[in-house]
Structure 1
Amino acid sequence: MFEKILSLNIKSSSYQPLDKIFSLQLESLRGLSAIVVLFSHAFQAFVAPQDVTFYSVVRLLGQSAVMMFFVLSGFLIGHSIQKNFQQNHTFSIKKYAKQRFRRILPPFIFALFWMLLLYVLAPYFFATQSHSFEVIPALMVRTAYDFSLFELVGSVFFINEFLTPTLSANAPLWSLSYEVWFYVLAGLIALWQSTFARVGFVITLLILSLLNLQFLVYFGLWLLAFTFSFDQVSSRVDVYSLKIVQWIFAIFALCIAIYDAYQFFIIDQIKTYQANLFTIFNACIGVFFAIFLLQLDQKQRSFKPVWVSSARFSYTLYITHFPILLFIMGVFPQSFLRSIWTSMLAVILSMLICIAFAWTMAKFLEPKQPLHPK
C-alpha cells in the first residue's frame, strides 16, 4: 500500500484547480483551526488554574485543531505539486522550495525575534520582576517565561522534537518542525522517478522516525490527505466503506477522550496531566479529518464557510500567540484575576489581542494570495 502511494504518477495526473466553494471551506477550516489552538492555550493559561472542569476536553480540542492543520497541509501540498507539474511540464524543485520558504520563513523568523523581545521585556513588566510567574498550587501551563539556547538552535534548524526540545516560550513550534520535514519528504515524492530521491526519502524518513516515532504516525496522516488530493486515488475510493471507516475512527477517538478525562480526574486526581494518549487520539481524529476533506471535495458533505479571511493570518497567529499569552500571564498573575469570571474575561481579551496582532503583522509577513482560485 505504501509503495502504491509513493508510486503515484503525479506527472500524468489530470490536475483540476480547487473550485471556489471548496477552496473557501478549506480556508475557513484553516483559520478556525488556528483560533481553536489559541483558545485552547488561553484556557490553559487563565482558566485552568481556577477551574479544571473542562481541561481535558479543551486540551484534546487543541490537539484536534493541529491535526486539521496537518491534513489540510497534506491535501493542499498534493494540489500544489500537481499544479507545479502542469505549469512546468516537469516538477520544478526550485519553484517548490521558493514557495515553501516564502510561506514558512518570514513569519517564523519574526516569531523568534518577537519571542526574544518579550523575554527581554519580561522583568520590567512581570509582577514578579523576573522571568518567573507567580506560582500557585494549581495546574499552570508554564512557571516561567524562559527558554534555552539549545532549544533556540533546535527550532532555528527545525530539529526540535528530534534532537532538541521545543522552545518552552513558544510551544506550538513543535508542529512547525514536523511540517517542514513533511514538505521535504513531499518534494522527494514528487521526484520519485529519481533513484537519488527514493534513497533520500527512505533515509530521511527512517532517521526522523527513529528519532521520534510520533513523526512517522503524523506523516502517515499527512500522506493520507496528500493522496486524497489526486483524482486517480479519490475516484477509486468506495464512498460507503470510507464513511464506515471514518466513524469507526471517530468512535475510537471519543473512547480515548473519555479515558483521558478519567485518567486526569480519577487516576491522577487532577495533580498532573498526562499526554501519553495524545498520539493515539490524534491518529484517530486525523484519519477522520482526512476523510472529511475528501468528502468535501467530492460534495458528499458541505458547510457554509465561516470567517474565511482568518486564513490570511492563521499561520502568523499560530506561531506568535503563545509568547503573548505567557507575557500576559506574567503581567496579570492569578492573584490579580482572583475568580473564574475574571479568568474567562482574560481568555477573551488575550485572544482578541493575539488575533489583532497576528492580523496586523500577517499583512507584512504572509504572502498575499486570493482566498479562492480564479
Structure 2
Amino acid sequence: MGTVTIKRPTSDLMDALRGISALVVAVVHAFQIFIIPYCGFWTYPHLLTSLLATYAIVAFFIVSGFMICISVLRHRTYGGFNSIGFAKARILRIYPPLIAAILITIAVYLIISGFGLHGAVSYRLGGELDVVRENAKLEWSAIPTTFLLWYGVVPCLPFAPCLPGEFMPGPLIMDGPLWTLSYEWWLYILAFLTARLWNGWRAAIPLALVILMLIYGRNLLFYRFGAIWFSGFVLGLFYVYGSLFSAKAGRWILYAMAALLVFAVVVIVGGSTQGRMLLDVLGRGQNLMVITGLVLTLYTGLMIRRFEVTNICLPKLLTGTAAFSYTIYVIHYPLLMLSYSFLHPLIHGKSWVVAALAAFGATVLITFLAERLSRIVENRSLLSRGFDDAVRRAGIA
C-alpha cells in the first residue's frame, strides 16, 4: 500500500488546518502574555482565548491522526510493515524542531538571567493583575525528560525527581506548549507498534507493555486527546478506503454529529443526576472538548467530501503555513517571554491597546524567525539526507 496518496484538495485542507492552528496558538499566547496583566486570569478575555487555543490544538490532533493513518498505510508493504521507514519519518518530524525549541529555551533563559533583564527576578513592575509567568525559570533536571518526551505519560521512575504516582518531570515551564508533544509522540508509538503486528505477533509484547504503562499512569487528559487523535486516524481510514465518499456517508456523518451534540446538551450540560455524576468523574470542560473534537472530526469529513467533489484548492497563503507549523508551535513561547522582557518595561503604565500592538509586533517577528528556521528543521529532504549520512558514518547501515 505504498502508493497511498492524498488528492490536492484534501492535502490543502490538512495543511491549512495544521498551519492556522499553530498560528492561533501562538497569537493566543502572545495576547495572554501581554494582556493578562491588564485583565487578569479567569476573565472573559482569558477564558475565551484559552478556549480558542484549546480547540486549535484539538484541530491539530485531528489532522495529526489523519496524517499518521496515511503514513502508516504508506509504509505498509506486501510482506508486512516498513518499521524503519516509518520510525525515521516520525523522528525527523518531531525531533529537529524539538531540539531547536530546547536550545532556544535554554538560550532565552541564559540571556534573561545572565544579563539581568526584566523577568530575571520578577515580571511584575507594579499594577499588574496577573502575569503568566512570575519570572524566567529553567528546570535543568527536566531537560532530559523533555528531550525524551516522557513527561505527562511515563510514570515516575525511582531515579527521577518526582513522587510515586506522578509522571516524569517536564516540559520546560518556559516552553509551555511542549506539553502536547509528548502526547503526540506516544500516540505515534502506539500506531507504530500496532502497525508492526503486520510483521508478526512478536511485536505484541512491546505494544502490550506500552498499553499497560498508559493504563497504570491514568492520565485522563492523554486519554481524551488520544480519543480525538484516534478519530482523525479513523477518518483517514475512511478516506483511503473510499467509504467517506459513498452516497450514504454524508447523511450518516450528519446523524452522528447531531447525536453527539444532543449527548453534549442532555448528558454533559444537562442537570440530570447521571450528568452530574459524569461531570464529577470526568470534568465538564474536558468532556465537552472530546465531544466537540469528535464533531469537528465529522465536520472535517464533510469538508473533505466537499473539497474533493468540487475540487477546491486553497491559496498558498493558507497552505504554506503548514511548512513551519511545528516550528512556530514549539519555539514561540520562550521567544515571547524574551520579547516581554524587553517590551514590558517600555509599555508599562500604558493602555492595553499599546500592549496588544507590542504583542502583535513580537508575533510577526517570531513568525518570520520560525519560517526561516523551519527551512532547516522541517526540511524533510535535507534532514533525511543528513540522517542517512550519519547512519552510514556510524556504520549502522
Give the AA of the match of 2:377: L
Distance, in Å, in 1 between the alignment partners of 2:14 and 2:264 is: 23
Give 1:106 deviation, angstroms. 1.1
Contact preservation (8 Å) 2:19, 2:320: yes
Does residue 239 of structure 1 match 2:250?
Answer: yes
Quote how far apart the aligned CAs of 1:238 are.
4.4
The aligned counterpart of 2:188 is 183
Q: Kindly provide the CA deviation profile for residues 93-114 of structure 1, in whole angstroms up to 9, marking residues without a partner as x.
A: 0000111111111111111011
| CA-CA distance at 1:216 after TM superposition | 1.7
1:290 alignment partner, one of 297, 300, 309: 297
8 Å Cα contact 1:103-1:367 kept in structure 2: no
CA radius of gyration, larger in: 2
Q: Does 1:206 align with 2:218?
A: no
**Contiguous gaps of at least 5 residues in structure 1:** 1-10, 260-275, 370-374
Structure 1 position 297, deviation (Å): 2.9
Q: What's the counterpart of residue 69 of structure 1? A: 60
Aligned to 2:279: none
Q: Which has the higher helix share?
A: 2
Map of 2:76 onto structure 1: 85
Question: Alpha-carbon deviation of 1:188?
Answer: 1.3
1:30 to 2:18 alignment: yes
For structure 2, the 5+ residue unaligned runs are 154-166, 271-282, 382-397
Tell me the equivalent position of 2:379. 367
Percent identity, aligned pairs only, is: 23
Kept after mapping to 1: 8 A contact 2:253/2:302: no
Q: What amino acid maps onto 2:208 in structure 1?
A: V
Q: Which amino acid aligns with 1:284?
A: I
Determine the C-alpha separation between the residues in 2 that align with 1:134 and 1:201: 48
Q: Please list the CA deviations of residues 166-200 of structure 1 after superposition, one character each: whole Å capped at 9, or x if unmatched.
A: 21100011111111111110011212343333342
Supply the distance in 1 between the matched residues of 2:267 and 2:175 (Cα, whole angstroms): 27
Aligned residues: 341
Closer/same/farther in 2, CA of residues 297 and 257 from structure 1, 3 Å limit = same
**Offset of residue 326 of structure 1:** 1.0
- Would the alpha carbon gap of residues 153 and 67 (structure 1) be closer, same or farther in structure 2, given more than 3 Å must change? same
Give the structure 2 partner of residue 46 of structure 1.
34
- Mapped to 2, the partners of 1:206 and 1:216 lie a distance apart of 13
Aligned residue number for residue 342 of structure 1: 354
**For 1:338, what is the secondary structure of its paired residue?**
coil
Aligned residue for 2:46?
55
Q: Judge conservation of contact 1:132–1:330 (CA < 8 Å) in 2.
A: no
Q: Taking structure 2 as the reference length, what is the TM-score of the superposition?
A: 0.77
Q: Could you say which residue in structure 2 is the equivalent of 1:311? A: 322
Q: TM-score, normalised by structure 1?
A: 0.81
| Contact 1:78 1:226 (8 Å CA) reproduced | yes
CA distance in 1, matches of 2:336, 2:267: 29
Pairwise CA distance, 1:295: 2.0
Give the alignment partner of residue 101 of structure 2, picking from 111, 122, 134.
Answer: 111
Q: Give the conservation status (yes or no) of the 8 Å contact 2:113–2:136.
A: no
**Cα 1:15/1:292, change in 2 over 3 Å:** farther
Is the aligned partner of 1:158 residue 2:149?
yes
What is the CA distance between 1:134 and its match in structure 2?
1.9
Amino acid at match of 1:139: D
